[in-house]
Structure 1
Amino acid sequence: MAFKAATQKFGSSINAVELGVGDKKITLGGENVFPLYTFDDAIANSPKVGVELTDLGIDDTLPELKEFYAGCDTIADQAKKAATMEGADFLSLRFEGADPNGENKSTEDCVAIAKEVAAAVDLPIVICGCKNVEKDSELFSKIAEAVPDKNILFLACKEENYKNVGASVGLAYKQKVGAESAVDINLAKQLNVVLTQLGVNAGDIVCNVGSATAGYGFEYVVSTLDRIKSAALSQGDGDLQMPIMTPVASETYNVKESLASEEDAPEWGSREARAVEMEIVTATACIASGSNAVILKHPQSVATVSKFVKELM
């Protein structure tokens, strides 16, 4: 008797959420099988790869990125260049300079940068804040109002500011809301619940359930992603059926393996190669565990992870 593999596709599915507009818009989610299980059923919307930029420009400690963005005088120029990366599906603009404990850039300056980037590229855009919940609330509201026609995802809305961000971004300006929690299925679910109770459409929410760099407690990330996807699909839990986006670069470029110079750690080899490897390993593990999109920084990482996804789809 011929062997016939049993399939495991579910009656429930992950919500399909569109980002961006026009020919370059993307859709996250929509699958009714576990991550990359194309042998169980077709996955219409493959995991997507984004490129991270910040309002502070290119980090002087990363000469490889300075070289890639050579000749780019503005953030808008950098966005245009980033959009040419092989495998880039969207851009992520992080407003590190808005942090009141750092440069404390004004909301007006940040809005102007966001408008310039939005006008410069046709890829979907993700706006990330400065991790100060009060400043982010103001920043997200003003950018959502100033750039009304780009279908932007604002990452992230947190427990501390979900009312302000959800009401302005999701309800008043009809943009997409990114719900950020801290590597815990219960926290992720609770934030989704209160956002939908506020009136935000579940189909307008994308989750960032938290991450870490591979080797740095990453097993908790894998476990959380796996439990969320299992509950969403096998248990039909509608409060966990939002697609997931994971900002990988902001984690991997903060560990010693990516930052230690070759002079300080000659036994580790090329610093650039280490940084790329940390990005690739972490991103592919996130995708295999359930993330529908990852945000990276290095052109080689973006191209490699994009190729990884395409070959498995």
Structure 2
Amino acid sequence: MPFNQKPQKFNATINTVEIGCGEKAIKLGGESVFPFYTFDGPIDNAPKVGVEISDLGLGDAVPGLKEFYGDAATPAEMAKKAEAMEGADFICLRLEGGDPNGENKSVEELVAVAKEVADAVTCPLVVEGCKNVEKDADLLAKVADALQGKNVLLLSAREENYKAVGAAAGLAYNQKVGAESAVDINLAKQLNVVTTQLGVKAESIVMNVGTAAAGYGYEYVVSTMDRIKAAALSQDDAMLQMPIITPVADETWNVKESMASEDDMPEWGSKEERGIAMEIMTASADLAAGSNAVILKHPQSVATISKMIKELV
């Protein structure tokens, strides 16, 4: 008996959010089907791949990364090389040097770095804070001001600072807002609700619902993204119809499988290959679960995930 597949059609659609300007601007979301379900309907805006760079430079990065960036000495120079990376759709500048428990760079210094990077590249830019909610409230607001006209995405507005970040990015300076929650559908929805109540348009919000490295309680990530996409499409929940962006690199390059030296764990093989494998596995799983964009670090990971997306969409 022949199998007649019936397309699963939804009347709801994930919001389309545009980042960047000009020919290289990218669109996240816009689909009315589950991830990679092209047999149910078209996916006009394929998932995107970003490259993470830091204001702190390369630090103790693996040899492959150091080799790729070569003599790039500033974040702006790194951004130019990252923009040319095979498969890269956008750049994510992480201002981790602002962490009060780390380098504790001033807001003014970090804003200057963000402006230099934005002026150095033509691709869309995502700017991530230092993960200190108080510092980020001031930092991201001033970055939004300094980068007016660039249509950047600012990561992230959290429950503790969404008013400051949302008001600056989404209202005063017409940027895009990243709403960050911790792998929980209820927290994600609540943050979207209060951010839109602030006056930020739903079409200006991108969700960062969190992730974990593959193997580290990852079933929570899958179930959260699955439930968000199901509610957005099958239940037409407007407060969960924002596209999802997932910073993968920060999670995957900081687990023991990626960090343990070859001297300590010779049976595990190449440290660089382990990190790449962890990054690729996590990114592919995030995309299959519902992420509309992933942020990676290694050139091989970026090229591999970009190729996977092209073959599936």
TM above 0.5: yes
CA distance in 1, matches of 2:166, 2:76: 27
- Counterpart of 1:223? 223
- Given that 2:148 and 2:173 are in contact with CA atoms closer than 8 Å, whether structure 1 keeps it comes out as yes
- Counterpart of 1:272? 272
Cα RMSD (Å) of the superposition? 0.8
- Given that 2:156 and 2:177 are in contact with CA atoms closer than 8 Å, whether structure 1 keeps it comes out as yes
- Counterpart of 1:142? 142
Offset of 1:286 from its aligned partner? 0.2
CA distance in 2, matches of 1:118, 1:293: 20
Aligned-partner residue type, residue 52 of structure 2: E
Q: Write the deviation string for residues 188-227 of structure 1: whole angstroms up to 9, x where unpaired.
A: 0000000000100000000000100000000000000000
- Counterpart of 1:243? 243
CA distance in 2, matches of 1:86, 1:59: 23
Do residues 70 (structure 1) and 70 (structure 2) align? yes
Offset of 1:59 from its aligned partner? 2.3
Offset of 1:239 from its aligned partner? 0.3
Flag as ranges the 4+ runs of structure 1 deviating above 3 A.
Answer: none
- Counterpart of 1:118? 118
CA distance in 2, matches of 1:61, 1:174: 35
CA distance in 1, matches of 2:164, 2:61: 36
Provide closer, same or farther for how the CA distance between residues 139 and 192 of structure 1 changes in structure 2, counting only shifts above 3 A: same
- Counterpart of 2:210? 210
Q: Secondary structure at the match of 2:156?
A: strand
Aligned-partner residue type, residue 6 of structure 1: K
Offset of 1:3 from its aligned partner? 3.9
TM-score by structure 1 length?
0.99
CA distance in 2, matches of 1:71, 1:34: 43
Q: Secondary structure at the match of 1:288?
A: helix
- Given that 1:60 and 1:66 are in contact with CA atoms closer than 8 Å, whether structure 2 keeps it comes out as no
TM-score by structure 2 length?
0.99
Offset of 1:61 from its aligned partner? 4.0
Q: Which runs of 5+ in 2 are unaligned?
A: none
Aligned-partner residue type, residue 91 of structure 1: I
Q: Secondary structure at the match of 1:231?
A: helix
Aligned length: 313
Q: Write the deviation string for residues 237-295 of structure 1: whole angstroms up to 9, x where unpaired.
A: 00000000000000001101001111110110111110000000000000000000000
CA distance in 2, matches of 1:198, 1:78: 36
- Counterpart of 2:86? 86
Alignment of 1:234-313 (within 5 A): 234-313=234-313
CA distance in 1, matches of 2:244, 2:60: 31
Aligned-partner residue type, residue 167 of structure 1: A
- Given that 1:59 and 1:66 are in contact with CA atoms closer than 8 Å, whether structure 2 keeps it comes out as no
- Given that 2:50 and 2:296 are in contact with CA atoms closer than 8 Å, whether structure 1 keeps it comes out as yes
Q: Which runs of 5+ in 1 are unaligned?
A: none
CA distance in 1, matches of 2:169, 2:228: 25
CA distance in 2, matches of 1:212, 1:73: 31
Aligned-partner residue type, residue 208 of structure 1: N
CA distance in 2, matches of 1:250, 1:289: 19
